[in-house]
With several copies, the nearest count.
Chain A
Amino acid sequence: MMHSIVQFAYLVASALFILALYWMNDPKTARRGVVSGAVAMGIAVLSTWALPQVVHHLWLIIAAVAGVAVGIPLSRVSLTAVPQRTALSHAFGGLAAGLVGTAKYYLWVGEGPEQLTTLRMIAIVAEIILGFLTFTGSLLAAGKLQGISWIPQRPVTFKGQNFMNLGLLGIAVALGVLLVVQPTGPWSAYAFPVIIVLALLFGVLLIIPIGGADMPTVISILNAYAGLSAVAMGFVLDNKLLIVAGALDGSSGFILSLIMCRAMNRSFTNVLFGGFGQIAAPVAGAEVRQYKSETIESATQVLEQASLVVIIPGYGMAVAQAQHRVRELYDQLVRRGITVKFAIHPVAGRMPGHMNVLLAEANIPYTDLVEMDDINRDMPQCDVALVIGANDVVNPAARNQKDSPIYGMPIIEADKARTVYAIKRSKNPGFAGIDNDLYFQDRTYMLFGDAKAVVGELVKSLAGDSGH
């Protein structure tokens, strides 16, 4: 009886998980999606807990309370720390999957070899390899993103690295196959922990050669792995709810990384093989060209005369945490009757949808956040394009320079605006490590400085103007 009730609860929870993701298709229903997901998770937890075989409650309560205690502060991190939190969370997910797989294996070893059916062993091996590599890989990724000092930020590569890693993984898989075929050989007591160690090691080696900038794509892939390890756990425990939720998670991870790749006009393999994050070689042999620097005052004047201002935020706005200043700027301009739109490139920043969350945090109505294709139609009518810490996503080389590494990537056509103001700290290139013609064109003026500071000055200047 209990069994049937729990199965029914699992079915309901699966449906609610699907609805949760479905409702994310619109900001209006998205919060309902979260509620639905949380309810589904609650059902899953409580109904599992209610199973008759669950007899020890103390540890459960302790572990659960501890998890809640750690989870709440983790949900309060600043929005710029969201990528590392996500990575950390994948690490936890991978760890949980790996540990459950390990526990089940030793449990069944103890109960007798007939418990270790082929299906179970295959699923366990898949689960622990995926789980533990996700664990260390995500942990390292989180560390890199957080900028922890003793973790090398730059990609670490060496000759033969890939063959070594491939070899390691090969050994792990080979051991896994052995375990599947003969789950209780005399050597299997050693093989199992060796697989775990190899998976842990492999996770680290997986992330070491990847630069901080390709991290989001990799995190998304790790997300998929975490999902797949949950699927594997579902096969181990013969639990369909795990399979459904894990598969949803897995497809989400793969699709998001595909979307990122597409928006960068790079193939999946190119992201994984291209070594984008590596040494950004200074563009050699180019004639030294001149930027036109401009003062806050004259920028203010031009802005005041505009009727359509398009703000193009990028990674620089995120690191400078300038979104609240940008909101003030938006208010100042809107108060003057100027139409202000935000042009959101799908891979602006370092996370899909990064700009949207930041600007939403600063209370900018999401109806003013315009997607790339839509805003590009309006760019020729745009009086001022204000580029705030964006670089690659406005680089016209993507359109007209065949040999550029970003050639073919869809961009926001800031260069078509009547005037361009660009806020950045220096003459350094962006993520792709290449010069940006936009900054050299006639109608572009640079406002050098930290995004938060510069926008702040713009606001002050505008406020002063309106004051007198």
Chain B
Amino acid sequence: MARRWNLPAIAMAASALTLTMLAVLPALAAEVAPAAEAAPPDADLWSMLFVFALSTFIGIGVIGRVSRLLHTPLMSLTNAISAIAVVGSILVTGSDYPVEIRMLGAIALFASMTNIVSGFLITDRMLKMFKTPTPPKTPAPAATPPDGGAR
């Protein structure tokens, strides 16, 4: 049977596209409209892209090493970490902004808080279940030599 188009793939493509836009358009735009009329100091796009790229490398490296045993807790842990959106929510809710805007922020804050609390708690709850039969003795070196070789 021929391949059928399916949505997740489309969605992925779309998000890839969006991210590329994110990277390239501002550069072009900056070219088209040089130094927008006294705008806020344009946040440093390239710093952010560097930070993004480097964190992605770290993520790939670190996640690839997570024990298979713990993939379910890992999902809930990253879930809790993605609630970092709380930072934005706090800024929007707590600043001196119009009420309607702060309301949106409050809902976002509520949602993120829920994720933080439930995410970390359930991860810990799951991890507590992983037990070894005997208390895990780390194989201690035969006896650490006293300061090996300072004569």
Which chain A residue lies CB-closest to B58? A18
What are 19 A-to-B residue pairs whose CB atoms are below 8 Å?
A18-B62, A27-B127, A34-B124, A53-B91, A56-B102, A72-B121, A75-B119, A82-B76, A96-B108, A102-B104, A114-B36, A118-B26, A118-B30, A119-B26, A119-B45, A122-B25, A223-B78, A251-B59, A404-B149
Knowing A71-B116, A74-B114, A353-B70 are in contact, say whether A248-B78 is a contact too (CB < 8 A): yes
Measured between C-beta atoms, what is the minimum distance from B55 to chain A in Å? 4
Cβ of B19 within 8 Å of any chain A Cβ, yes or no, is yes
Taken together as a complex, chains A and B put the C-alpha atoms of A125 and B17 apart, in Å, by: 12
**Closest residue of chain A to B2, judged by CB?**
A273
Contacts of B86 in A (CB 8 A): 41, 44-45, 48, 96
Of A84-92, A145-153, A292-300, A458-466, the stretch lying at the interface with chain B is: A84-92
Residues of chain A contacted by B25 (CB below 8 angstroms): 118, 122, 180
Instruction: Identify the interface centre among B86, B87, B95, B109: most chain A CB within 10 Å of its CB.
Output: B87
Measured in the bound complex, the distance between the Cα atoms of B63 and A68 in whole Å is: 28
Say whether B51 contacts A243, CB under 8 Å: yes
A77 touches B63 (CB 8 A): no
Interface pair B15/A272, CB less than 8 Å apart: no
What B residues does A228 contact at CB under 8 A?
A: 15, 19
Residue of B nearest to A157 (CB): B4
Residue A371 interfacial (CB < 8 Å): yes
* Binary A-proximity of B95-133 (CB < 8 A = 1, otherwise 0): 111101110111111111111111111111111111111
Say whether B62 contacts A70, CB under 8 Å. no
In whole angstroms, how far apart are the Cα atoms of A96 and B68 in the complex?
Answer: 30
With both chains docked as a complex, state the minimum distance between the C-beta of A209 and any C-beta of chain B, in angstroms.
7
Q: Is the CB of B94 within 8 A of A407?
A: no
The CA-CA distance from A220 to B82 in the complex, in Å, is 13
Is B140 an interface position by the 8 A CB rule? no
> What 1/0 mask marks residues of chain B from 62 to 81 whose CB sits below 8 Å from any chain A CB?
11111111111111111111
CA distance in complex: A264, B76 (Å):
22
* One of A306-314, A354-362, A419-427, A447-455 contacting the partner: A354-362
CB contact between B69 and one of A97, A231, A240, A369 (< 8 Å): that residue:
A369
Q: Are B132 and A48 in contact (CB under 8 A)?
A: no
For residue A248, which residues in chain B have a CB less than 8 angstroms away from its CB?
Answer: 55, 58-59, 62-63, 78, 81
Check B49–A408 contact: CB distance below 8 A: no
State in angstroms the CA–CA spacing of A15 and B50 once bound together: 9
A241 surroundings in chain B (CB, below 8 A): 84, 87
Q: Which one of B5, B62, B114 has the greatest number of beta carbons of chain A within 10 Å?
A: B114
Q: Report the bound CA distance from A365 to B131 in whole Å.
A: 5
- Partner pick for A67 among B36, B60, B77, B109, CB 8 A cutoff: B109
Knowing A25-B66, A169-B14, A206-B8, the reply to whether A56 touches B94 (Cβ < 8 A) is yes
Whether A99 contacts B107 by the Cβ 8 Å rule is: yes
Asked if A70 and B114 make an inter-chain contact with CB atoms under 8 angstroms apart, the answer reads yes
Tell whether, in the assembled complex, residue A44 and residue B114 are in contact, meaning their CB atoms are under 8 Å apart. no
In the complex, chain B residues whose CB is within 8 Å of the CB of A41: 80-81, 83-84, 86, 116, 120
Sorted nearest first, the 5 A-B pairs with minimum C-beta distance are: A67-B113, A71-B117, A251-B59, A353-B71, A4-B27
- Which of A66, A122, A356, A432 is B70 in contact with, Cβ under 8 Å? A356
Contact B93–A34 (Cβ < 8 Å): no
Which listed residue (B40, B82, B118) contacts A226, Cβ 8 A?
B82
Those of A82-139 within 8 Å (CB) of chain B: 82, 85-86, 89-90, 92-93, 95-97, 99-100, 102-104, 106-107, 110, 114-115, 117-120, 122-123, 125-126, 129-130, 133
